[in-house]
Every structure is written in structure tokens, then in C-alpha cells.
């Protein structure tokens, strides 16, 4: 089976940096994968991507060394099974707030006897004839800690066998604390909760990840010890670049047309 290079990096204590794919476009996914990210997560929770389009995005990403992943819409064994069968080399599972929910996610991602994933066919078999034998070791399972209840239960969540890493969702975490959502924490309690997750992950011996707004924040989180880190998403990058270009053009036009 295809080796999961993300798991290898994380196990070696190295950062693994990727991108959220929100544009629902195989062409955009292909362009962004060729940048060289370690992984790309096709977001099926907060984007309107359809299932077949998601598969096409996986196909586009795998024209490169970037690994295709997906964020599931919810911690649902049926949704998890379909995404893995479609070829996701890893999953990000949202709003996991307890050990019981972590167990459910881990079992849904693993074949028996370690889990409850159905041994069906599917596109994932392109990764090798030994897929059924090796998938439990190669599929990356990342649970999102994005609620204050999950922060308090982080050690219990991460101690579940089959959970490979956690990923902080800063906006939902802030919302659960009654704080204005922010990818870059401003409120000290928000910042402290994020660092509490990192401390719990270190204690348990599992990598911690987080969503960042830009490259500068990614570098800061790497220095702090986070490993599985997302640098914004392709839609945000497109908007930012287009907005900056238009501002420069508009400023130039306004300067040229200013009365003398």
C-alpha cells in the first residue's frame, strides 16, 4: 500500500504543513497540490463540494506527492467509510469532545479486529492489493479539538488507540468559550486553551495541529511545537491575492484621476 508520508513526518517529530481545499474544484486542487504542500484536506464539512467532485479532487491531488485528505461533515461511521473508500489517505473529524467520541472515530477508520470499518471495495484499492492489510497503519486519523469541553478532555481523547493527532479549530473553540471567533487568538483565555491542548498532546505523546490564517502564523505555531498545521485555505488565498491586486490598481487609478 502507498506509504503515508504525513504519518512518517509526524512520528519523527517534524512539522507537516498542508492546505484546506474549499473551492470545490479539481483544477484548483491540482494547481495548489503542485505547490508542494504535504497534504490537502478537501473540506466536506464547510464547503458545498459534492461527492464525485471530491473524488476528482483526490485524483487531481494525487498527480503530485501531496497526499489527499478530507474533513468529514461529522463523526459518522457511514460518512467516514465513504470518504476512506473514495481514497482519502487521512481524515480530519470535527467536534470530537470526549473519549467515547474519539473511540467512535477511531473504530470507524479501522478495519476489524481493531475497528469496525466495512471491508468493501472502492477506489482506495488503487493504493495497493494489500490495502486491507495495511490501511489501519497508513490512514491518518486526526480529531478536531474545537470546543472547551474537548480541551478539558484532551488527554482522554488523545490516549485512544487509533487516534494519530489532534487539530485545534480556533474559531469554534472561541465560540464555545463565549469569545469572538478568531483564527489568531486575541483573548488570553482563548490563547491559553490552545496551549493547553498542545501541552496535553505532548504529555500523551501525540502530535497537535492547528488551523492558521497565514504563513507567519504557521511559522509561529511550528516554533511552539505544533506539527499538523493548515495554512488557511485556497479560497482565502485567492481572495487575499485578488483583493491586494485590486487595491493597488484602484489606488493607481485614483491617483491618476485626482484633480490637480
The answer to whether 123 and 178 are in contact (CB under 8 A) is no
Grid cell for residue 116 = 469496525
Q: Is 147 a catalytic residue?
A: no
Q: Which of 241, 242, 219, 243 is nearest to 229 (CA)?
A: 219
Q: Which is the catalytic residue, given 46, 187, 190, 211? A: 46
Q: Cα angle at 238 between 236 and 239, to 5 degrees?
A: 65
Query: For the residues of the chain, what is the DSSP string, one character each?
Result: ----HHHHHHHTT--EEEEEE-S--HHHHHHHHTTT-SEEEEESSSS---HHHHHHHHHHHTTSSSEEEEE-SSS-HHHHHHHHHTT-SEEEE----SHHHHHHHHHHHS-TTT-------SGGGGG-TTHHHHHHHHSEEEEEE-SHHHHHTHHHHHTSTT--EEEE-HHHHHHHTTS---SS--SHHHHHHHHHHHHHHHHHT--EEEEESSHHHHHHHHHHT--EEEEEEHHHHHHHHHHHHHHHHHHHHHHHTS--
Q: Cell match 469554534: residue?
A: 172
Catalytic positions, written as ranges: 46
Amino acid at each position: 500500500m502507498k506509504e503515508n508520508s504525513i504519518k512518517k513526518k509526524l512520528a519523527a517529530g517534524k512539522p507537516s504543513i498542508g492546505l484546506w481545499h474549499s473551492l470545490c474544484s479539481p483544477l484548483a486542487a491540482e494547481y495548489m497540490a503542485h505547490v508542494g504542500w504535504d497534504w490537502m484536506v478537501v473540506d466536506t464539512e464547510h464547503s458545498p463540494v459534492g461527492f464525485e467532485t471530491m473524488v476528482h479532487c483526490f485524483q487531481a491531488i494525487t498527480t503530485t506527492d501531496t497526499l489527499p485528505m478530507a474533513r468529514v461533515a461529522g463523526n459518522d461511521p457511514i460518512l467516514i467509510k465513504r470518504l476512506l473508500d473514495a481514497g482519502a489517505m487521512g481524515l480530519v473529524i470535527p467536534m470530537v469532545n470526549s473519549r467515547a467520541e474519539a473511540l467512535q472515530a477511531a473504530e470507524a477508520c479501522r478495519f476489524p479486529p481493531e475497528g469496525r470499518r466495512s471491508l468493501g471495495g472502492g477506489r482506495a484499492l488503487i493504493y495497493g492489493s494489500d490495502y486491507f492489510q495495511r490501511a489501519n497503519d497508513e490512514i491518518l486519523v486526526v480529531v478536531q479539538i474545537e470546543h472547551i469541553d474537548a480541551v478539558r478532555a484532551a488527554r482522554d481523547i488523545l490516549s485512544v488507540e487509533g487516534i494519530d493527532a489532534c487539530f485545534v479549530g480556533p474559531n469554534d473553540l472561541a465560540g464555545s468559550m463565549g469569545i469572538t471567533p478568531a483564527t489568531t487568538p486575541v483573548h488570553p483565555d482563548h490563547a491559553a486553551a490552545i496551549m493547553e491542548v498542545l501541552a496535553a498532546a505532548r504529555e500523551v505523546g501525540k502530535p497537535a495541529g492547528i488551523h492558521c490564517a497565514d504563513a507567519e502564523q504557521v511559522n509561529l505555531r511550528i516554533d511552539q511545537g505544533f506539527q499538523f498545521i493548515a495554512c488557511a485555505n485556497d479560497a482565502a488565498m485567492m481572495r487575499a491575492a485578488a483583493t491586494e491586486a485590486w487595491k493597488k490598481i484602484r489606488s493607481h487609478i485614483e491617483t491618476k484621476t485626482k484633480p490637480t
